[in-house]
Structure 1
Amino acid sequence: MIKTASFGIVHVSVAFGVVYVLTGSVVIGGAVALIEPLANTVAYHYHEKVWDRIRRRPATVTGGGGHVLQG
């Protein structure tokens, strides 16, 4: 849990730092540092749902070398 919290702090700090350097605005940097991780969390949720669906597909066989491809 400490590692996760530490990474969260790094993520928010990097987001703030990059936007602050690009814009010079503490307000915009702060807003992006709060919004970007939230948007990424939502995107990650749907990303995982897609990969779960891919993993559940039955294996398919290629026509070339006879290798079985699995998700």
Structure 2
Amino acid sequence: MIMANIQKFVINNQRTLKKTFSYYIMHISVAMIVAYFVTGNIWMALTLSMLEPTVQAFAFFFHEKVWAAKDRRVSALAEKETMA
């Protein structure tokens, strides 16, 4: 039952999950470079680069869901106006 729900969630959110993952990889890379230049310590840079982008990836996923819902509302309103 739980696996079926997870599978359904992944199927229904495939595009957003792919975008979130690519954003996550990009963000970790940038964060690691910046953290290394600031600290000069590779281990601290790796630790910092994993923490903040991980939180950001979750925020990005929900940010995308909010914008998708907004787009659906705008499209529905536009369609309703053209029918009137």
TM-score (norm 1): 0.55
- Counterpart position of 2:29: 13
Q: How does 1:34-45 map to 2 (within 5 A)?
A: 34-45=50-61
Aligned pairs, how many?
57
Q: Which has the larger radius of gyration?
A: 1
% identical equivalent positions:
32
Q: Following the alignment from structure 1 to structure 2, what is the Cα–Cα distance between the partners of residues 27 and 47?
A: 30
Structure 1 gaps, min length 5: 61-67
More strand by share: 1
Normalization by structure 2: what TM-score?
0.49
Alignment gaps of 5+ in structure 2: 1-20
> In structure 1, how many angstroms separate the alpha carbons of the residues matched to 2:46 and 2:77?
46
What is the RMSD of the two structures over their aligned residues, measured on CA atoms?
A: 3.0
**Greater relative contact order (Cα < 8 A, sep 6+):** 2
Q: What's the secondary structure of 1:59's corresponding residue?
A: helix
Name the structure where helix makes up a greater proportion of residues. 2
Structure 1 stretches (4+) deviating beyond 3 angstroms? Answer: none
